[in-house]
Structure 1
């Protein structure tokens, strides 16, 4: 038990520094578990940095109803079992008011039972898993669009360009299965079939045999439904096998860290997006984030925008929950949001719908390593 408290204190110090205070000064404690190490580390850090941009600005102005927010973030190494255990500790031992910005589909599935047991809201899980949308999860409040919507848009976009020989490779887990449903819908709408459809082990993928099939099928594009370095490994494998197919992946990989991991192969990769372009000067959300990031000497990535938008919803929920927000007040506060403007995008919840946004778009990585729309 003592080791847990030491770890929690270290996490509060490390990630609490981003919100401008230590754990002892926190008046509202929010919990997060995500893969700060492992295959999704770059994206997780950027998303969390985006949230901190907004939380820092709120805390600098005195917090919410005079109370500052402390984000306690624990590393689950992108392991679903550890994500569930971290959530339990944060809820039962740290007594967090809410969970926030948790990453991964099977990981969030492991977290939900702890939310339901204690009546704790999870705001803005960093996943587009349909299982968190339908059937309604009473304690989960999504902000971003679903993976199914992204995958469908990716396939129909490729078809609109005249690309018909499309392969699909997916991690053999709930995330991959979820994205595949959307991809299949895209194929149906486009009256096509995938030339290759293969699963790989989530933890230890072997892309050799899959890459050979992709090359032999003369695929023009490959949609890889997986996370971080797994996608990079798959891309490298089919390039090595002689395929020149276009790489397409989802917004869970929309980070500058992902671009860096692709190296010289980054140019031309298509990545779906669930928020406006980080250079969209006509977007109030983007302008706000850019201004705050500039003051800290940082650039803004799509992953950071997701975190920034999530933090705006979190803060508004806390504000609506009153002077002393509690777990049981947050649900009604969130469900009172109707067309809440986070900066050019409107978030709505109701007792029957916790979906948040449905925005989906496509980007391509340019020669400068930036996402272009």
Structure 2
């Protein structure tokens, strides 16, 4: 009897070992260490648009410094690997490959630009590596829904609709559009055209500039011929500043309006407060100088502690909010982290980040439709 019992026990143990071998424990996803969670970011830190990436990175690092100082996420510190892409698509793709294959990041965040992100999407989607926070409002990145990409800001369609509705509401009907000739600019231009069509209007003229170029002469000549009352500019700060200068030189004084990617502080620095006065800018983040909003107050404190200055900006705040959203999603996913569980958490959990709310679902990864219209004052400050 004893021998029979031992044989049965050994058989059961052997079966258990076979089952364990057939169903090994799930290996942790890349980027999850004993003491850290590694994230990756590709953005311009050099070149004509390097200031955008630097402000975003500073805001994100300020939040993570604050978080890590308080113990991190379930005892794990957050490490952010940042790579410079110069706002060039091929470099963004190369950076994405490096972040996933060499740096072994758990997830990506705060990618910059429509065209660069569109090409990088092929890589991170295949690797099933989530990207949280795209500095782009392009419709092509939003539809169809990509399971591994989540948007923090409103779309260009949301921004252009707000601008057009405001201009038409003031009795302005002759509206031209100046855009960057890439995914970013074309998406914004399409938004302008669609918004005007809802008012039974069309752009009176169109002009474009190539990415990372200041050659705006052809666009100025084309648009000036139409003598527009307003020009909506879907461009970044350097070509925008050059376009406005040349339009005024040509005797054109329309209402100039632009979208949030411009970076209000960068445009003022490029043009000077006097020349930037009166330019309208749509914004997709809360007003960075209003510390009555909890998330803005938190940003102020973290930036002062981490960066030792108080040069607040929309891009810096967006980087900060992006980092906080990532941290909150990681925390709510729990100790047994995986990329798929992070995606599920994002799709099923509303987030109130302190006055800025985000809500995703399996059928929509557009977290926010918040748009605020602002104008540059005489002293270069952003006025609401």
TM-score (normalizing by structure 2): 0.86
Residue equivalent to 1:34: 43
Number of residues of Structure 1 aligned to a counterpart in Structure 2: 349
Task: Determine if contact 1:43/1:258 at 8 Å carries over to the other structure.
Answer: no
Mapped pair 1:160 → 2:169: yes
The equivalent residue for 1:369 is 380
Misfit runs of 4+, over 4 Å: none
Indicate how the Cα distance of structure 1 residues 188 and 206 shifts in structure 2: closer, same or farther if over 3 A, else same. same
CA contact (8 A) 1:271 1:363 kept: yes
Q: TM-score, normalised by structure 1?
A: 0.88
Partners of 2:241 and 2:123 in 1: how far apart?
33
State the distance in 2 between where 1:38 and 1:199 align: 20
1:86 to 84, 92, 95: 95
Structure 2 unmatched runs, 5+: 1-32
Structure 1 counterpart of 2:10: none
Deviation at 1:26, TM superposition (A): 6.9
Q: 2:76 aligns with which of 64, 67, 74?
A: 67
2:278 — aligned with what?
268
Q: Secondary structure at the match of 1:170?
A: strand
Aligned residue number for residue 323 of structure 1: 335
Cα distance between partner residues in 2 of 1:363 and 1:44: 22
SS at match of 1:193: coil
Over the aligned positions, Cα root-mean-square deviation in angstroms equals: 1.9
Q: Which moved more, 1:107-116 or 1:34-43?
A: 34-43
Q: Deviations over 1:64-116 (max 9, x none)?
A: 11111111111101101110111011011110011110100001001111111
CA distance in 1, matches of 2:265, 2:66: 23
Gaps of 5+ in 1: 1-23
Alignment partner of 1:215 is 2:227: no
Conserved in 2, the CA contact under 8 Å of 1:254 and 1:273? no
**Rg larger for:** 2
Partner of 2:303: 293
Name the residue aligned to 1:200. 209
Tell me whether 1:343 sits opposite 2:354 in the alignment.
Answer: yes
Residue of structure 1 aligned with 2:255, choices 246, 252, 261 = 246
- Tell me which moved more, 90-99 or 128-137: 128-137
| Alpha-carbon distance between aligned partners in 1 of 2:222 and 2:182, rounded to the nearest angstrom | 21
Establish whether residue 171 from structure 1 lines up as the match of residue 180 from structure 2: yes
CA drift of 1:203 comes to 4.2
Could you say what secondary structure the match of 1:350 adopts?
coil
